[in-house]
Amino acid sequence: MKYILGAYATAPVTDSWQPEVQEQYLNRIKQLDNVRGLEHPFTGSLHGHDDDWFLRNIDPQWNYVFTGVPGVMGSLAKNPAFGIASDDEDGRAAGIEFYRQMHAAVLKLNAHLGRKAVDYVQLHTSPNRTKSNSSTDSLKRSLQEIVSWDWDGAGLVIEHCDAFIDGSEPEKGFLTLQEEIATIQAVNTASGSKLGISINWGRSALETRSVEGPLEHLRLAREAGLLRGLMFSGISDVETPYGVWRDTHMPPAEIFAEGYFAEGSLLTREQMALTLETAGWQDLDFVGAKLGVRPRDLDVDSRVAYNRDCLNAIDLLTSENR
């Protein structure tokens, strides 16, 4: 099995854009033989610094799952009403325009590669409800427009992020999974579209402050017939360099000896195995991982090793679950 890797989250951190450092990292990622392609961050253009550099340096055989989270969070920092679920009409229009720009980037990448290389686009139901109002009605109106565009073979999913829950301080504060599922079902019924759901383990654990949260979210999405993808990111409930209950994409806890893992991660071997089983991984359109690493000045070899060992851990667990 091959996986989607959110390699951008582990990329070297530099004070300014240093293409030679990023190229060294990406060339090492290309050597991982179980990478099917990348979860690709979108901030407003195909690449945050240089489209041409990106097109020159990617593996032409890779496939892609676009994510708008980096761009969405950047937009929210400037406009708290931004997003496709916003009840503020200007904020909702800005959210739709953001995905229109992503649509253009999808077409550009496919045209460069001469094939339909983008498998999925992940949408997000901002704004943060602690700062601006949002609703399923607003989301439905936005989705009805977005699904009408020709995405050149790319499927559309809502990636569920941590929702606003009374008594907890959210990092994202977007719509609940139940609201997202109900809205997707309504849009699919009305338009004949095939919108789905993707789940990031760490973000569901963050919302529920529990390792049971990702399993429950996977069950809900699967029972609704909407689960399309699963991405592994870890999280901790104790003080670590990754923070306590923070969406920092912590690596998993030790899965096998002498690997690159993170002490204190709630994403243990047992939880990864339960998650794959609950998700029905054999039926998913994509499975993968998105990791952050600490310290931030970690060398390239170690950054690649964290990704390598996480993907090898998934390989190990899926082979045991066949």
What's the confidence (pLDDT) of residue 245? 96
Task: Give Cβ neighbours of residue 122 (< 8 Å, ≥ 6 apart).
Answer: 65, 66, 67, 68, 69, 157, 158, 159, 198
Is 278 within the bounds of a domain? no
Q: Evaluate whether residue 91 is within a structural domain.
A: yes
CATH of the domain at 220: 3.20.20.150
306 lies in a domain? no
> Is residue 236 situated within a structural domain?
no
288 found inside a domain: no
Q: What is the pLDDT of residue 302?
A: 97
Is 300 contained in some domain? no
Low-confidence ranges of the chain (pLDDT < 70): none
What is the per-residue pLDDT for 193?
Answer: 97
pLDDT in tens, 153-189: 999 999 999 998 888 889 999 999 999 999 999 999 9
Contact 120, 158 (CB under 8 A): no
Supply the pLDDT for residue 306: 98
CA–CA distance, 217 with 227 (Å, rounded to integer): 10
* pLDDT of the residue at 153: 98
Please count the structural domains in the chain. 1
Cα gap 186→149, rounded to integer Å: 18
Residue 166 domain-assigned? yes
The predicted-structure confidence for 13-40, as pLDDT tens digits, reads as follows 998 999 999 999 999 999 999 999 999 9
| Amino acid sitting at position 30 | K
Q: What pLDDT is stored for residue 98 in this prediction?
A: 98
Residue 131: inside a domain, yes or no?
Answer: yes
- Residue 165's pLDDT is 85
Q: What domain range includes position 191? A: 3-227
